[in-house]
């Protein structure tokens, strides 16, 4: 697996208990409430709220029902124009292990299709015109114009422009 571009901080105890140091309590509470509400809003209203939280969303992008964005740093997510994020997908900009708290930006290009119930991990870039199949774990970059899927993702073939 290609190394994702992640900022890592190590701790002697479970790093999830250190989340206020990374995100701030008031910001996280606001993000949690707003993101929970956004999961069930009509598309145009949802996109406006997500932009207020700092998520970059291009024109004509559809964020499906029940999509969950990272509550700590949604502003580290960018989605290009004319993309579709499928139902129940989770997009994270942080992750923890037993001794590390890791953060990284997520960049999703233009004309991307992400199938339902996919998880996108921090530090990942999905190139323009790429497709990610449903129920995938995106733990590495997906090159422009490629079709990836699985747990973890692997190349499945070519997409539209090839």
- Residue 145, exposed/middle/buried by CB under 10 A (0-12, 13-18, 19+)? middle
pLDDT by position in tens, the chain (length 162): 445 778 888 888 888 887 888 788 999 999 999 999 999 999 999 999 999 999 999 999 999 999 999 999 999 999 999 999 999 999 999 988 888 888 899 999 999 999 999 999 999 999 999 999 999 999 999 999 999 999 999 999 766 555
* 107 touches 121 (CB < 8 A): no
**Which residue is listed with tokens 């009509």?**
42
Question: What pLDDT, on a 0 to 100 scale, did the predictor assign at position 19?
Answer: 83
Question: What pLDDT, on a 0 to 100 scale, did the predictor assign at position 1?
Answer: 41
Q: Whole-prediction pTM value?
A: 0.90
Q: 62-74: string of b/e by CB count within 10 Å (b at 16+)?
A: bbbeebebbbbbb
Residue 59 lies in a domain: yes
Cα–Cα distance for residue pair 124/104, rounded to 1 Å: 8
Residue 25 lies in a domain: yes
Distance between alpha carbon 35 and the CA centroid of its chain, in Å? 13
CATH number at residue 38: 2.160.10.10
Residue 95 lies in a domain: yes
Cα–Cα distance for residue pair 65/38, rounded to 1 Å: 9
**Tokens for 161?**
């422009």
Question: What pLDDT, on a 0 to 100 scale, did the predictor assign at position 161?
Answer: 56
Which whole-number Å values give the CA distances from 117 to 47, 77, 113, 137, in the listed order? 19, 18, 12, 9
Distance between alpha carbon 39 and the CA centroid of its chain, in Å? 14
Residue 1 lies in a domain: no
Number of domains in the chain: 1
Residue 92 lies in a domain: yes
Tell me the residue range of the domain where 86 lies.
Answer: 7-158
């Amino acid at each position: 697996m290609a190394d994702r571009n992640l900022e890592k901080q190590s701790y002697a105890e479970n790093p999830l208990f250190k989340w206020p140091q990374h995100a701030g309590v008031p910001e996280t509470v606001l993000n949690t409430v707003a993101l929970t509400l956004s999961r069930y809003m009509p598309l145009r209203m949802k996109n406006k709220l997500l932009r207020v939280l700092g998520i970059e969303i291009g024109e004509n992008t559809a964020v499906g029902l029940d999509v969950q964005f990272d509550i700590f740093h949604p502003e580290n997510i960018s989605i290009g124009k004319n993309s579709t994020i499928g139902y129940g997908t989770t997009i994270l900009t942080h992750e923890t292990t037993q001794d590390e708290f890791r953060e990284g930006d997520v960049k999703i290009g233009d004309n991307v299709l992400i199938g339902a119930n996919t998880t996108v991990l921090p530090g990942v870039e999905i190139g323009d015109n790429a497709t990610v199949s449903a129920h995938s774990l995106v733990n590495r970059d997906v090159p422009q114009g490629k079709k990836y899927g699985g747990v973890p993702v692997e190349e499945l073939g070519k997409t539209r422009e090839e």
